[in-house]
Structure 1
């Protein structure tokens, strides 16, 4: 059979072969075209993915929509290689959200011109033409949202109490919960290799005031020349005249161009420089040590015999050489700016002195402190006037008064600060002195916790917190906002409104807002202890309303100097700073919107059974933002000592929901 087939010469096999060649060649043509089409499709897909990642970076950098589309198209076409750019079209769909991440969508359409398909189609009797093939490639990039978080944590004295349901101090419970929050977000940040500083944390410990750091004493946002209306609020330079200069070491003060300046040769190298709180810290001098002069022993008669030149009592004394040093230095705390600047992040500029930040300087309150009896004879011998021993009931008396006068005059008279504190004289009590009211550690600015050194730095700062002082939540919240803001004083934050970035302020307190109420003992008219708002009894810029009452409603008495009224005023300040931070387009219960700053609040061991704590809870709840992931949910937690760690885990979950991780 096979032999017959091979010997057959009638042409049937050739005909069959020719007939078979058409589909065989067509299949081969299709295979070649399909292979090339697949190759071009893969090249297009790679170019699309590369364009997506590159464009996502530009979104984070803050490029405009038009810039992004042009950039994506150029980047895509530059990476097409052998694929003709003219055969492609790119559609870019940008994220809808102006902040908080989103999805970037890119779609490329490619028209492929086959090599053999038209010929194959002609052979198959399908006509001629280009028979162009179209296909589409899609790519989506879910933006890796970045986070900037300021931990605004209560360091007031009550944080030393045990947390409910535990045997641990509240401050220790807070340290553990806060460090766990940092660890959780840092672990997520470490996975985001393609973004710089994916998660940053800052820390704002607060009590009666906030410490911005003593190293900032020469920053332009500080009131370096004493221009602010707040700066000389408790100072009276009027007695430091040229006529009185001899009694003040040939020094006097002169107001020139709105600035008090040093005049007189007694100032030495600092003559003509501004008189400020900073200069006061530098100029207050103390005899810090003394050394006996050898061979100076001499007899001093303390009391003569009656009607005689003979000495009834005396002693041998010595001459001494003294070492002089600076008495104190600025510890870093600042006063609250006058309204409305206390509740916003407006830049500090010298053209508007009220915006400048003024260093805290607690005035020496009335009482002649030193009254030093060096020789033990009962006579005051401290190289200063022998004033009476009136105490006036004030606690922060740390320098000698100038002369016998009323408590208010004694407190304001600036001449006293240029005396030299004698060796062996009494020192201020614990917490007293010019830095009274400044009890917290400095702010830790935003730092990248995706890096181990950054994570450890913020955790170390958390561990260093120590409880003391009163509670000023609005001032702490304002500084939390300034930490995540992109403008000075702290500029580590990304630009406000930058796409793909969320700014978050987490506020925790264990008590109501408090300001020291002096009660009935107040001869100087201070009306309060000294803290971030100064004295509640001192009107701002010569007016009758003090800063703590500025920009408050009619429900807050402007001359009612009680603890309850101070709390009411500070609660209103808190609502203003929170509303300003969240912005006019803040997310509502059921509506859309995006907070400029997301505010999360936590009350610790507070109960609505007590009126002041009930008010504090309401203030914290009103202050909080609404959740983006759960409609109608306020980002407020009422924690106890026992469940604080769990609350911070929930906060970590909420922060994780803000970030989009593909």
Structure 2
């Protein structure tokens, strides 16, 4: 009912009271008219104040979210929060009836067990239309908006394609730029050391775990030969009876014969590469403890130049590992993904830092690749897509997701090979699979992933 309608009804009632002949009616009217007017006026003015308050709440909620986004992405510093809050709020709060409007913004950094918080307290008033008759010329209102983020800690593995085709169109350079931007974005989510950990797993047909692990108990050497190439003038030829490019582990895994007497070479000649471990341990996280569960020392000539980096919050070291990446070799996404998963676990071989029992952790793998699976220790010709390798990878993805790990997959197809049969399957939902066709799109995809990871929520 509008103010005009209410006023008309009050006027009509007053006229009837005034024309009444009964003396007591006039007396009663005089007694009740002020409370009646006050009640009706309060309802009307309260409705106006509540509308202004709702408008303020919406503007403050949006302001709190944008401040949190800007802060986590490094666009503003804590000292700039109040100024930025006022600018955002003033642009969004346009209620013309509100007066004496003010907001106060409080930022509380996160701790090891609580998230960072931005709280905005706002107040204002309206000039009353009817309540002023009974001595209340204004009606005040106030509200609060709070945004909280970072309450959970992040453990994130970057599993990055370092295969030979990454040289085309400088995809490796675009990947390095995008990955380092993501590192910056994610590091801004950390309020204290250890809030965010990252690992980096460069991969091709093998993964380079570093020669410093030469004496690790989880390595096996029964299919390792440092001398792969019998002809110096044709280094693509190997001792494998089944074809070129194969190491001893790959040759024997494919069922071919290795035509070289290995002897007892020094392990100091090892280049740091490992191949898949025995099936079905290639698709789970069993702790290495025997020959079948250990990882196969390999001697791939295209062993990634960048060594695997376990979980750390040393951002300089992370960026240095990304900078060290260079393209070479064929594609075995399964092995890269398994090592990414292993890097998140508090067990051999990588022994991730311990996790506090009273803290929530998010475990995330971001897998980037520019192609299709072409080979592993048993399957594929290292050139064309291998359905058998895809099957191994699907089994692994089932295990990873069942363990509560969130998987993002990013594919870039610049040569028309088509969408992977396995990457959308491995992603934890359609919104976590990205299909790209240009190197310039890598940065945007990684930025979107970082934003999803840093998702904020309005808590009040």
Q: Please give the range of the TM-score, normalised by the shorter of the 2 chains.
A: 0.5 to 0.7
Unaligned segments of structure 1, at least 5 residues = 1-99, 104-139, 163-168, 236-275, 283-327, 362-434, 449-453, 516-531, 534-546, 550-560, 584-594, 627-632
Instruction: Return 464-473 or 496-505, whichever deviates more.
Output: 496-505
CA displacement at 1:466 relative to structure 2: 0.3
2:287 and 2:312 mapped to 1: Cα distance? 22
CA displacement at 1:440 relative to structure 2: 3.6
Q: Is the 8 A contact 1:209 1:334 kept in 2?
A: yes
In structure 2, relative to structure 1, the CA distance for the partners of 1:659 and 1:477 (3 Å cut) is farther
Q: Is the 8 A contact 1:202 1:447 kept in 2?
A: yes
In structure 2, relative to structure 1, the CA distance for the partners of 1:170 and 1:185 (3 Å cut) is same
1:637 and 1:474 mapped to 2: Cα distance? 18
- Other-structure match for 2:326: 466
1:160 aligns with 2:172: no
2:413 and 2:405 mapped to 1: Cα distance? 26
Q: Is the 8 A contact 2:330 2:382 kept in 1?
A: no
In structure 2, relative to structure 1, the CA distance for the partners of 1:570 and 1:495 (3 Å cut) is farther
In structure 2, relative to structure 1, the CA distance for the partners of 1:571 and 1:187 (3 Å cut) is same
Q: Is the 8 A contact 1:143 1:661 kept in 2?
A: no
- Other-structure match for 2:10: none
1:443 and 1:467 mapped to 2: Cα distance? 15
- Other-structure match for 2:304: 439
3-state DSSP class of the match of 1:572? helix
What CA deviation, in whole Å up to 9, does each residue of 1:383-438 have, x standing for no partner?
Answer: xxxxxxxxxxxxxxxxxxxxxxxxxxxxxxxxxxxxxxxxxxxxxxxxxxxx4242
CA displacement at 1:635 relative to structure 2: 0.6
Higher Cα radius of gyration: 1
| CA RMSD after TM alignment | 3.5
- Other-structure match for 1:67: none
3-state DSSP class of the match of 1:184? helix
The one of 636, 640, 646 aligned to 2:433: 636
CA displacement at 1:487 relative to structure 2: 1.2
- Other-structure match for 1:178: 179
What CA deviation, in whole Å up to 9, does each residue of 1:472-510 have, x standing for no partner?
Answer: 111111111111122111112445998510111100111
CA displacement at 1:656 relative to structure 2: 0.5
What CA deviation, in whole Å up to 9, does each residue of 1:147-168 have, x standing for no partner?
Answer: 1111111111111111xxxxxx
2:458 and 2:265 mapped to 1: Cα distance? 52
1:660 and 1:201 mapped to 2: Cα distance? 27
**Consecutive aligned runs of 4 or more in structure 1 exceeding 3 Å deviation:** 100-103, 140-143, 232-235, 276-279, 493-499, 561-564, 658-662
Report the TM-score, using the length of structure 2 for normalisation: 0.56
- Other-structure match for 2:386: 567
3-state DSSP class of the match of 1:637? strand
Q: As a proportion of its length, which structure holds more helix? A: 2
1:211 aligns with 2:208: yes
Q: Is the 8 A contact 2:225 2:298 kept in 1?
A: no
In structure 2, relative to structure 1, the CA distance for the partners of 1:330 and 1:233 (3 Å cut) is closer
What CA deviation, in whole Å up to 9, does each residue of 1:423-480 have, x standing for no partner?
Answer: xxxxxxxxxxxx42423421011101xxxxx111100110110001111111111111
What CA deviation, in whole Å up to 9, does each residue of 1:615-661 have, x standing for no partner?
Answer: x2x311111013xxxxxx43111123122111111000111128999
- Other-structure match for 2:418: 613
Q: Is the 8 A contact 1:144 1:659 kept in 2?
A: no
- Other-structure match for 1:280: 265
2:292 and 2:361 mapped to 1: Cα distance? 31
1:219 and 1:638 mapped to 2: Cα distance? 38
In structure 2, relative to structure 1, the CA distance for the partners of 1:648 and 1:330 (3 Å cut) is same
Matches within 5 A, 1:230-269: 231-232=222-223
In structure 2, relative to structure 1, the CA distance for the partners of 1:445 and 1:658 (3 Å cut) is farther
Matches within 5 A, 1:212-611: 212-223=209-220, 231-232=222-223, 279-282=264-267, 329-350=269-290, 353-361=291-299, 435-448=300-313, 454-495=314-355, 499-515=359-375, 533=377, 547-548=378-379, 564=384, 567-583=386-402, 596-605=404-413, 610=416
1:234 and 1:217 mapped to 2: Cα distance? 14
3-state DSSP class of the match of 1:219? coil
CA displacement at 1:278 relative to structure 2: 11
Q: Is the 8 A contact 1:548 1:569 kept in 2?
A: yes
Query: How many residue pairs get matched?
Result: 284
1:141 and 1:339 mapped to 2: Cα distance? 44
Q: Is the 8 A contact 2:155 2:364 kept in 1?
A: yes
1:483 and 1:510 mapped to 2: Cα distance? 22
In structure 2, relative to structure 1, the CA distance for the partners of 1:234 and 1:181 (3 Å cut) is closer
